[in-house]
Structure 1
Amino acid sequence: MDYIEFIGFAAAILTTAAFLPQVFKTWQTKDVSGLSLPMLIMFFVGVALWLVYALFINSPSMIAANAITIISAFLLIYFKVKYN
């Protein structure tokens, strides 16, 4: 693994890990009042496009980060719809 991809994996771990506490807190409290559904949908579509881009350029760090983040974003959308 070259140093550029290492930087990518470090960024992927940090940005993805930063999102997970929100998913856990929302799941635990079922409080979705602070979540904006339009923002979550735009974020989900953006992450999906980043994932497609990562697949085209074959970037393992971007693929991993966006695959995990898209699941997290989907869960928040699901929680928003279910608990609203």
Structure 2
Amino acid sequence: MQEIEYIGYAAGFLTTLAFLPQALKVFRSKKTRDISLLWALLMTFGVFLWFCYGYANHSLPMMIANGITFVLMLVILVFKLRFK
């Protein structure tokens, strides 16, 4: 079972890392014109639900990855709403 946990950590790390460049770019440039508000809303809420699912199933890899991704998505969403 532990090997499966490693796959979960690797998947979570990679998919979370994928959001980091976008969040940093938005944070630095304060420009979000090309980001869809609907995408940002749905993605933020979806990631939050994945975190809740991981919590309910006691899945640390899922909780860590989606917790961090949720914060990154909040940055993107807040900047999208603030700098329309």
The TM-score normalised by the length of structure 1 is: 0.95
2:62 corresponding residue in structure 1: 62
1:5 corresponding residue in structure 2: 5
Unaligned runs of 5+ in 1: none
Matched residues in 2 for 1:56 and 1:81: separation? Answer: 31
2:39 corresponding residue in structure 1: 39
1:72 corresponding residue in structure 2: 72
Deviations 1:31-76 (A, max 9, x none): 1111111111011111111111100110110000000000011110
Amino acid at match of 2:23: V
RMSD: 1.0
Amino acid at match of 2:11: A
The TM-score normalised by the length of structure 2 is: 0.95
Matched residues in 1 for 2:67 and 2:52: separation? Answer: 10
SS at match of 1:31: coil
What is the percent sequence identity of the aligned residues? 38
1:23 aligns with 2:23: yes
1:14 corresponding residue in structure 2: 14
Amino acid at match of 1:40: A
